[in-house]
Amino acid sequence: MEKKLHHYIPLAVWLVHCLMACSAKMQTNNITDKSALLALKQHVASDPYKVLENYWIANALVCDWIGVSCGIQHHRVTALNISFMDLTGIIPSHLGNLSFLVSLDLSGNNFQGKLPGELSRLRCLRFMNIKLNNFSGEIPSWFGSFPELQLLSLSSNEFSGQIPSEYGKLMMLEGLYLARNSFKGLIPQEIGDLINLKALGIDSNLLTGSIPREIGNLTMLEELYLGLNNLTGVIPQVISELTNLILLSVENNRIMGSIPRAIGNLTMLKEPYLGVNKLIGMAIDKTDDEKT
Ligand SMILES: *[C@@H]1O[C@H](CO)[C@@H](O)[C@H](O)[C@H]1NC(C)=O
Ligand SMILES: *[C@@H]1O[C@H](CO)[C@@H](O)[C@H](O)[C@H]1NC(C)=O
Ligand SMILES: *[C@@H]1O[C@H](CO)[C@@H](O)[C@H](O)[C@H]1NC(C)=O
Ligand SMILES: *[C@@H]1O[C@H](CO)[C@@H](O)[C@H](O)[C@H]1NC(C)=O
Ligand SMILES: *[C@@H]1O[C@H](CO)[C@@H](O)[C@H](O)[C@H]1NC(C)=O
Ligand SMILES: *[C@@H]1O[C@H](CO)[C@@H](O)[C@H](O)[C@H]1NC(C)=O
Ligand SMILES: *[C@@H]1O[C@H](CO)[C@@H](O)[C@H](O)[C@H]1NC(C)=O
pLDDT at position 11: 52
**What is the CA angle 57-63-66, rounded to 5?**
60
Query: For the ranges 7-16, 241-250, 281-290, which has the lowest average pLDDT?
Result: 281-290
pLDDT at position 17: 56
pLDDT at position 26: 59
Q: Whose CA is nearest to atom 6 of ligand 2?
A: 83
Q: What's the chain's average pLDDT?
A: 88
Is the pLDDT reported for residue 290 higher than 60? no
pLDDT at position 15: 53
**For ligand 3, is residue 38 a contact (CB within 6 Å)?**
no
CA of 247 to the centre of ligand 4 (A): 33
pTM for this predicted structure: 0.87
Is the pLDDT reported for residue 159 higher than 90? yes
Domain ranges within the chain, ordered by starting residue: 2-291
Pocket test for ligand 2, best of 65, 81, 128 (most atoms within 8 A of CB): 81
CA of 214 to the centre of ligand 5 (A): 6
pLDDT at position 10: 52
CA of 241 to the centre of ligand 3 (A): 48
pLDDT: which is higher, 284 or 182: 182
Q: Quick one: which H or E segment has residue 175? A: strand 175-177
pLDDT at position 286: 39
**For ligand 2, is residue 105 a contact (CB within 6 Å)?**
yes
**For ligand 5, is residue 261 a contact (CB within 6 Å)?**
no
Is the pLDDT reported for residue 1 higher than 50? no
CATH of 2-291, one of 3.80.10.10, 3.10.129.10, 3.30.70.1340, 3.40.50.1100: 3.80.10.10
**Cα(254)–Cα(182) distance, integer angstroms:** 18
Q: Whose CA is nearest to atom 7 of ligand 6?
A: 230
Residue 89 has phi, psi (to 5 degrees) of 155, -165
pLDDT, one tens digit per residue, over 207-225 is: 999 999 999 999 999 999 9
CA of 265 to the centre of ligand 7 (A): 6
CA of 6 to the centre of ligand 2 (A): 15
Query: For the ranges 44-58, 212-226, 237-251, 277-291, which has the lowest average pLDDT?
Result: 277-291
| Residue 201, amino acid | G
**Cα(130)–Cα(109) distance, integer angstroms:** 8
**How many C-alpha atoms does 241 have within 13 Å on its Cβ side?**
12
pLDDT at position 266: 86
Contact (CB, 8 A) for 35 and 86: no
Is the pLDDT reported for residue 22 higher than 60? no
The ligand minimizing its distance to the Cα of 283 is: 7
**Cα(21)–Cα(135) distance, integer angstroms:** 30
pLDDT at position 171: 93
Is the pLDDT reported for residue 18 higher than 60? no
